Amino acid sequence: MNEKLIIKPHELAVQLGVSTVTLWRWQKSKAHGFPTPIYRGNRTLGWRVRDINDWLDSQ
């Protein structure tokens, strides 16, 4: 992953090779400990890159 602090859903989906719908399914079902997104403002959300990296390391 790059040096950003927050990664948006579309960017994360591209990097993981899945759809954004898959990200929401993983998050909703807590599949394999997938991290919860954080909300920044009313309509902006994303994941902490650190949380995604930790999740990937645990896979």
Query: What pLDDT score was predicted for residue 3?
Result: 61
Q: Give the contacts of 53 (CB within 8 A, at least 6 positions apart).
A: 1
Confidence of residue 7 (pLDDT cuts 50, 70, 90): very high
Inform me whether the pLDDT recorded for 2 exceeds 60.
no
Give the span between the Cα atoms of 31 and 20, in whole angstroms: 15
Instruction: State pLDDT tens for residues 25-50.
Output: 998 887 678 898 998 777 788 999 99
What is the value of pTM for the model shown? 0.79
pLDDT > 70 fraction of the chain, expressed in percent and rounded: 93
